Structure 1
Amino acid sequence: MPAAAGDQMPPTQSICMIGGDGETSYARNSRFQRGVQSRLTPLVEEAIADLCRAGVPSQLCVADLGCSSSPNALALVSAAVEAVCRRLGNPSPAAERSRPEISVYLNDLLDNDFNTVFKAVPSFLEKHAGAEEGGERPLVLVFGAPGSFYDRLFSAQMLHLVCSSFSLHWLSKVPQELVDGVLINRGNICAGKTSTPAVTAAYTRQFEQDFKLFLASRAKEIIPGGWMIFSMAARPARDFASQPRRLLEFAAEVLQDMASQGMIASEEVDLYNVPVYTPCLEELRGAVELEGSFEVARMESHEVIRSHGDAKQRAAALRGLHDWALVRHFQQVDHIGDEFRGRRRRTSVGCPRR
């Protein structure tokens, strides 16, 4: 998408989950994310109720940012459509009686497997088509919106509701200091418990820059009085040592072991970092208030427990999330995947809690 005149081009977001329906695909390894996403459904319903207080608008635009390619892609927009249908079933006196239209926009990066997403659209439309007892079903239209959500994606004041589930902890890029080798994040592949203060500061700056771009872009695209609802991975406190053990720490340990055995170059492991950042609640609230475009209606943290399954399933889940980066950096991943699976059989990993 060309930059608007006078706008500065933001960094390029470069994270895509594994597409298709194979063993290591995100579609088959996103059950945990589905559970996290389900927490947003009541908030989506609350937002629709607020938007329809004076009756259902003739047109509603809803977007899911970072939809990926799993069955989760249509879950939140489906909840929004159902909430509108319930309002039509019990219309207020001021409600518009003509059939409303709901435009649904599914966003992710250009390399996302949109083919898998759109194969599910016919059944989604069938579910929401036809007449409902006591009210009329809206006309639902589905569109793809490829591009980085750290840039503008939609026309000004176009969207009524924006949702994003478990995507915003992915940064647009690894901090440049680590890419250039100015900083070495030895023993870690993200801002971890044992990362140096310089490394965690670089990750924090990247998050602040990216999140500001995200908020500023959405502020231009959402109508006055519109809603934005999102969830992301987080840490319990500002101290990075407060983070529970995560799959990324396990991956870092496997890569370090492989380097010590000469299976991969230790220099390559030292330079391998993942563009992910988990802010604490205080950081997140501060970033929203500093940017200034949005009023925080509600901000909550939840502990969630991940069921890792057996060794094969856990290794597949890890590859579903990180194959894109492993391939780019190490060129091949099958032997790394075998190590993940073998190590998982021998190691018990604590459940991440958010």
Structure 2
Amino acid sequence: METTRPHTSPPPSRWERVRAWLAWPLFWPLLTLALLLLGNGLLNPGFLSLQWRDGHLYGNLVDIANRAAPLALVSLGMTLVIAIRGLDISVGAVLAISATAAAWTIGPQQGDGLVPLFLAIAAALAIGALCGLWNGVLVATVGMQPIVATLILMVAGRGIAQLLSGGQVLTIYYPPYAFLGKGFLLGVPFSLFVVACAFVSLQGLLRRTALGLFVRSIGHNPLAAHVAGVRARAITIAAYVTCALTASVAGLLVSSNVSSADANNAGLLLELDAILAVALGGTALGGGRFHLAGSLVGALIIQTLTTTIYAVGVPPQVNMVVKALLVFAVMLLQSPEFRAWVRTLTAFHGRERQS
């Protein structure tokens, strides 16, 4: 009696393994970050070194991660908004309003009690949630275009923050509040734990529940998602509220780090960096495909690039030019027409070589 051997597929070839690595969403963002860090390490031999002093971890890598924390938080919220074919250009204004609200809540009381700290955090998150609710209602209920709806708050938000601060920069000399942006926990900056908590919470919510599938379906085809019974309007509002909340937490970190709340300059042009970080992380600007971890890597890329420009001695104005070129390159790479043109051009040159 003959026995049939189970059919086994041949092991993947080297080229197939390479293609699998290239298709991994985080491959190119991580490669870009690694090349930037390697370039800095070659220019400055001590750039990648870490030191442990007085129970704290110090080094350029720690500084980059710490300074990128506010942008990373905003990028996480922006990822959800872009995934549902939205956009929020008011995150910088929301950051300024939240920071000002926290500083105003603390007010002249600069003691060591924890009650003002709790109230300051609650005030910042509450006003951030109201801002996100405003944007979400305008987009999902009123039917405004996302860029127009969030432009309203972008313009009016800083005016609201200046009215709240009386047109002054509010200084905060309050040790518990300063811990948010300048404190250390287990030797690591506390802001990194804040980012980690936000990432784990959103990642678990999108992976462990059906919410991630709903977000992708809305991004791919909102009409089909609505016909299938997906509560697109509620999810859209929730995405804008989440984006505003992450901007509010970023405002707490920024204001506590500099011990002041500047309604006019806090979070200025942060929306550009957040959109760029999301795009660099592999999220499709047309919606449907998103990667939270990629957005974190994108924020680290932007901060590393900024650190590199300052370290080389290039004028700060060049930083904006480099970011603009990055936006241009990312938009080209995400354009189906451009990719089709590149494939056609490559195939044409291939046929010419064969002939």
TM norm. shorter chain > 0.5: no
TM-score normalized by the length of structure 2: 0.27
Find the structure with the greater CA-based Rg.
Answer: 2
Greater relative contact order (Cα < 8 A, sep 6+): 2
TM-score normalized by the length of structure 1: 0.27
Task: Determine which structure has the larger strand proportion and give its number.
Answer: 1
Task: Determine which structure has the larger helix proportion and give its number.
Answer: 2
